[in-house]
Amino acid sequence: MPAFLRFLPATLALMLSACASPSPSSRTDAAAGAPAATLRVATYNTSLYDDQDGGLIRRLEAGDAGARKVAAVLQQVRPDLVLLNEFDYDAHGRAADLFQRDYLERPQPGGGQALHYPYRYFAEVNTGVPSGLDLDRNGSVGGEGRERGNDAWGYGLHPGQYGMLVLSKHPIDAAQVRSFRLLRWASMPDAQRPIDPASGLPWHDDAVWEQLRLSSKSHWDVPVRTPAGTLHFLVSHPTPPVFDGPEDRNGARNADEIRLWREYISPGAHAWLCDDAGRCGGLADGARFVIAGDLNNDPVDGDGRHPAILELLEHPRVLRLATPRSPGGAETAQAYAAKGLVRRGAPAHVTGDFGPRAGAMRLDYVLPSTGFEPRGSGVFWPASGDPAAAIADGSDHHLVWVDLGL
């Protein structure tokens, strides 16, 4: 699997001081960053995708307004290590080059000082890659328009759509990265195979089921060499548990995509858990990690199979820390509740606004392992009256960050 790791000359900027508030909502709060002995880790679904192959590159070349807001948020929060979801992949890394050079490394309106990441990981994903199979059972393979994405290994209109990009201020051990993009769903013990409720039979016949890939984009274990030792950045973007039928095939896949990480950090041989290079087994006992991504599953609200995310949150190797929160999320969730869209989750914990039908939910996570000292967390979602709110609408998701003591 080709992966592009860039080593760019730059001097790493030290974080200036500790963030006084657990939820940065303005430039003053977020730009302070984390102290030198603290690692700030973040995830951000950037919505930097395009329906046309190469479309994101063309938009970035032209000066994309949404990308400028995304860069401004990153310049305010200044994470040391960040996963960007929904950033279209291209084989030559052109989009990542443009975003770094023309957006992050140039001060943006409402942002902060230029921000440089010397290291990155940018690799293939399953979205938009034709499977050659009739995965949606409509009687044809591929198709026209948006329908053709249904028969890709992961939904997408061209290979690389909705991709993933890791940016780091610390060296990435590229030779030790593990990708599980090709792992077959059927190889997972007790996989939640979708069932057609009308017939009681499996939704996919055996020939198709045995070929299906579990990851809708990819699952990466990216080892990062921090001053306190190696941190395994476990990143993914499971499929939304919607856009299907009563068989709930996307709900089942979302749950098992989340479960992959739970299995990966649990004791056991896991002979079935083989990466794309043929190495099998989970993460070593005692290894420190951070699980990050838009996991598309709220603990109590929405259409996901909630036990999947709850079991990950409660895993004994996952650090217990205060749930990241924001004033803008609370304001938005409460506004929906006033209109009759009432949710059970805490309003301040939501990480995105998904419109009048879905409302606001918590879908984005940064979950450190035990062994770290938690020093703060937040969601970059300023209240509507805060001037920083002008840059917070570059995506329907909001950046989530956690500070970890080293």
Rounded CA Rg of the chain: 20
Question: Which two structure tokens, joined as six digits, stand for 43?
Answer: 């995830």
Q: For the chain, which residues make up each domain, given as ranges? A: 3-125+160-405
- Residue-wise over 147-186: b if at least 16 C-beta within 10 A, else e? ebbbbbbbbbbbbbbbbbbbbbbbebebeebbbbbbbebb
Residue 379's SS3 state is strand
pLDDT at 17: 27
Divide the 406 residues of the chain into consecutive groups of 10 and give the mean pLDDT of each group: 37 29 36 74 98 98 98 98 98 98 97 96 98 93 83 97 98 98 98 97 97 98 96 98 96 98 97 98 97 98 97 98 98 97 96 96 98 96 97 98 95
Residue tagged 């949606």 (tokens) = 136
pLDDT at 202: 97
pLDDT at 11: 30
Predicted TM-score of the model (pTM):
0.91
Is residue 62 a contact partner of residue 102, using CB atoms and an 8 Å limit? no
Residue tagged 């592009």 (tokens) = 4
pLDDT at 32: 55
Give the sign of the dihedral formed by CA 169, CA 175, CA 176, CA 177.
positive
Residue 293's SS3 state is strand
pLDDT at 322: 96
pLDDT at 36: 67
Domain 3-125+160-405 part of CATH 3.60.10.10: yes
Residue 131 backbone class (left: φ over 0; alpha: ψ -120 to 50; beta: rest): alpha
Among 17, 293, 335, 287, smallest CA distance to 165 is for 293
pLDDT at 218: 98
